[in-house]
Structure 1
Amino acid sequence: MKKIDGGVTSPKGFMANGNYIGIKKKKKDLSVIYSESPAKGAAAFTTNIVKAAPVLWNQKIIDAKTNIQAIVINSGNANACTGEQGMQDAILMAQTTAEALNLKKEEVLVASTGVIGVLLPMDIICPGIKKTIAALSASREAAKMAAEAIMTTDTYSKEIAVSFTIQGKTVTIGGMAKGSGMIHPNMATMLSFITTDLNIAQDLLDKALKESIVDSYNMISVDGDTSTNDMVIVLANGAAANEIIDKEDQDYEIFKEALHYVNSYLAKEIVRDGEGAGKFIEVNVKGTKTKEDARIISKSIIRSNLVKTAFFGEDANWGRVICAMGYSGVKFDVNKVTIEFSSKAGKISLMEKGLPIKFDEDIALKILKEKDVTVTATLKEGIEEATAWGCDLSYEYVRINGDYRT
């Protein structure tokens, strides 16, 4: 597998475009992804009980396991808590896209992100969809424009593409994502769209995605909020012309590894661009009895506001880390716990076998001044481990979210 310069148009048979149509004041706000041939689809959606209209539409389409050929995404308006009219507007987005591409509306998925509780300006969106589709392209620039058009408070677009070989055929996966605040998925607002030209059975595509999400998007947290609109969608159109992967063999494992790399990369990019974020924090929890124990503890640490603010202040406050571990709900012996902080500036031990270690505050400060910082907590209860990713909590986060609607 190798990383290449690309995005959602990198796999064969995919086109895209991003456009400014007038939902926002001036930035791009509508994106379309199109597969020239029918594609199998898999997806995961927000666990929030309050689900936006596009999520409900997409769940219906994905559950039917029908082929999908397009995704239309608007930014600047979430189309959430908009009642029956919001549902009809989501369906009209699908219908308008379908008509422009000579498809059925059931072959079109819809996504929205932005302010909650405001009806979509359909008088702008419908002609905007047609205008955007008229300029669809398989070019690298088209993928960039599509990625830019799904942004809200993001400060940069997030894209990736990788290629690898299966059965002597070159297979490509491309992806784009957005997400800056309301990030604490469990499948944050977080949207991710993946395309691949692999020929794979729908059930295995779904299995690969669901297994990857557990240790990628579900292991990130910016502010602990789970959005009404979160979704991850993957489309596979088979244009690579490999023999269909319909069993969990070596070819499936190769794809699964590549897909997880793409998802993990995009998940980490979302955290790096967290609203007001100054630091990227990786939390490694090792030596737990079960994998789930490690996941729970690492997420408990990464979503702690006291831990986040300590890193913002570049304070080596290991007490906040052990506190977050303690209220995670996982049982462990504190007398076995070791805690370390590290960065490219070095590594420092702060706790060993449950007791604090005297450390040099100047060295600790040097380590914590780096943008990327790692927390490693070792429990010595077993052999399992997990990693979560998050960011610090800054004054800028409060400023951004204090006037989000304006």
Structure 2
Amino acid sequence: MKQSTIRDIPGGVTAVKGVRAAGVCCGIKQSALDLALIASDRPATVAGVTTSNRSKAAPVLLCERQLKGGRFSAVVANSGNANACTGSQGERDAAQMRDRLARILDRPAGEIFVASTGVIGKRLPISKVLSGIRKGFERLSVEGGEAAARAIMTTDTHPKQAAVSLELDGKPVIIGGMAKGSGMIAPNLATMLCFVGTDAQASAPLLRQVLRRAVGNTFNAITVDGCMSTNDIVLLFANGMSDAPPLKAGTPKLVAFEEALSQILSRLARMIVKDGEGATKLIRVEVRGSRTAHDAGIAAKAVADSALVKTAFFGEDCNWGRIMAALGASGIRFDPSRVEIALDTIPVVRNGVGLGEAAERRAAARMRRPEFDLTIHLHAGTGEAIVLTTDMSEAYVRINAGYRS
């Protein structure tokens, strides 16, 4: 089969055939959009991944139970309140959100998903949320995707959407999604809130396999502040409303679909990092030559999460000693005397030793750019990994110091 061309198209999740969305203000926030609905005209199969944080929010626990059924009709998501660490009352509130939308849509409760994001430890103003669900239902439309993407924002500065089209057996298929995330970004199996739909046809187990692989090299390869959220969830649903035949394991069609899905998740992940709280720079940290790919990932995240490294990025100071320290503290096995470090192809360390002030000045000049690469070679094997990260500025401290005020 000829490889299908993947094309970027306008919009997000509502670019998918048979998907409608809405974003409304229900009163969690004083005047901003704070409640999103996404609904599929036809019941869909679904897969999802959730945070590995043991302090899971009530909606995450609910979604984990719902995912076992493998069916999706809609999701309701609020911002401004995480409904996390709220005990049994929080679980009842999440169930009320699910049940209210199920009744309004006349769909089984097991097909309705719930997500929340915002301040931890406060009870939802549930009566406002339930009224907002009715308002959101009345505004569901194919034009509602951007409002929905805005309604799940917290400290984000802009909505995050992406969509692509491809052909499978000559039939057009669309994948579209939206996400939110800016701070508390150190995902493991998911990141913040992300909802992706497709009009392809696929079983829930197959979607689960594809999603887990795609998340591994996208959402699991980014960090802003090294802090894992209580509320992370990614949902992928397939309503089969295109004319394309069902996706099957081990086929070229599935390979093409997975490539397109990875493009969507990669774009959304990059948007999240670029919009990192207080960030002024996006840095691609690449580790090569580790003993294993797993070791490379550990080393890359150790550097990408280091507050000392990130503040040096912000200060445009090529302080490679901080990078060496982060590598050494990562716990992986390597010989420091063989390490090479380059910034945007400019070598600054060879055989574990700095190459002098002139090299550091040239590298520091590259650090003035809004995006640059940091490449580390350990010369210990063939493992490699890439992590996207940000710098850390005074603005990050101000944003998080006043988050609840």
TM-score (norm 2): 0.96
* Alignment partners' CA distance in 1, 2:135 and 2:267: 32
- What is aligned with 1:336? 338
In the alignment, does 2:56 pair up with 1:57?
no
- What is aligned with 2:3? none
- What is aligned with 1:323? 325
Q: Which amino acid aligns with 1:226?
A: M
- What is aligned with 2:198? 196
In the alignment, does 2:356 pair up with 1:351?
no
- What is aligned with 2:381? 382
Q: Does the 8 Å CA contact 2:93/2:126 hold for their aligned counterparts?
A: yes
* Alignment partners' CA distance in 1, 2:359 and 2:171: 55
Q: Which amino acid aligns with 1:144?
A: E
Runs of 5+ unmatched residues, structure 1: none
Q: Does the 8 Å CA contact 2:191/2:234 hold for their aligned counterparts?
A: no
* Alignment partners' CA distance in 2, 1:364 and 1:138: 47
- What is aligned with 1:108? 112
1:276 Cα deviation from its structure 2 partner? 0.6
Q: Does the 8 Å CA contact 1:17/1:33 hold for their aligned counterparts?
A: yes
* Alignment partners' CA distance in 2, 1:188 and 1:98: 25
In the alignment, does 2:123 pair up with 1:119?
yes
- 1:225-255: CA deviation from partner (whole Å, max 9, x where unpaired): 1111011111111111221112221111111
- 1:346-396: CA deviation from partner (whole Å, max 9, x where unpaired): x41101122211234442232010111210011222223111011111111
3-state SS of 1:9 partner? helix
* Alignment partners' CA distance in 2, 1:164 and 1:188: 25
Q: Which amino acid aligns with 1:26?
A: S
Q: Does the 8 Å CA contact 1:180/1:189 hold for their aligned counterparts?
A: no
* Alignment partners' CA distance in 2, 1:360 and 1:290: 30
Q: 12, 26, 44: which is aligned to 1:7? A: 12
Q: Does the 8 Å CA contact 1:40/1:236 hold for their aligned counterparts?
A: yes
- What is aligned with 1:128? 132
Alignment of 1:76-95 (within 5 A): 76-95=80-99
Number of aligned residues: 399
**Mean alpha-carbon deviation: is it higher for 163-172 or for 284-293?**
284-293
Change (3 A) 1:164 1:391: same
Q: Which amino acid aligns with 1:181?
A: G
Q: 194, 203, 216: which is aligned to 2:218? A: 216
* Alignment partners' CA distance in 2, 1:366 and 1:353: 23
Q: Does the 8 Å CA contact 1:159/1:175 hold for their aligned counterparts?
A: yes
1:277 Cα deviation from its structure 2 partner? 0.7
3-state SS of 2:300 partner? helix
3-state SS of 2:14 partner? coil
1:189 Cα deviation from its structure 2 partner? 7.0
- What is aligned with 2:246? 244
Q: Which amino acid aligns with 1:196?
A: T
* Alignment partners' CA distance in 2, 1:305 and 1:393: 7
1:181 Cα deviation from its structure 2 partner? 1.0
In the alignment, does 2:157 pair up with 1:155?
yes
In the alignment, does 2:368 pair up with 1:369?
yes
3-state SS of 1:64 partner? coil
Q: Does the 8 Å CA contact 1:189/1:228 hold for their aligned counterparts?
A: no
- What is aligned with 1:73? 77
Alignment of 1:274-285 (within 5 A): 274-285=276-287
1:261 Cα deviation from its structure 2 partner? 1.2
Q: Which amino acid aligns with 1:262?
A: I
Q: Which amino acid aligns with 2:55?
A: V
Q: 43, 54, 57: which is aligned to 2:48? A: 43
3-state SS of 2:172 partner? strand
- What is aligned with 1:396? 395
Q: Which amino acid aligns with 1:241?
A: D
- What is aligned with 1:31? 36
Please, what is the CA RMSD of the aligned residues?
A: 1.2
1:186 Cα deviation from its structure 2 partner? 0.8
* Alignment partners' CA distance in 2, 1:63 and 1:48: 19
Q: Which amino acid aligns with 2:65?
A: K
- 1:261-320: CA deviation from partner (whole Å, max 9, x where unpaired): 111111111111111111111101112232111111111110000110000100001111
Runs of 5+ unmatched residues, structure 2: 1-5
- What is aligned with 1:258? 260
* Alignment partners' CA distance in 2, 1:188 and 1:43: 9
- 1:37-63: CA deviation from partner (whole Å, max 9, x where unpaired): 011111111111111000000000102
In the alignment, does 2:8 pair up with 1:21?
no
3-state SS of 2:13 partner? coil
Q: Does the 8 Å CA contact 2:348/2:363 hold for their aligned counterparts?
A: no
1:322 Cα deviation from its structure 2 partner? 1.5
Q: Which amino acid aligns with 1:403?
A: G
Percentage of identical aligned residues: 45
TM-score (norm 1): 0.96
* Alignment partners' CA distance in 2, 1:317 and 1:279: 16
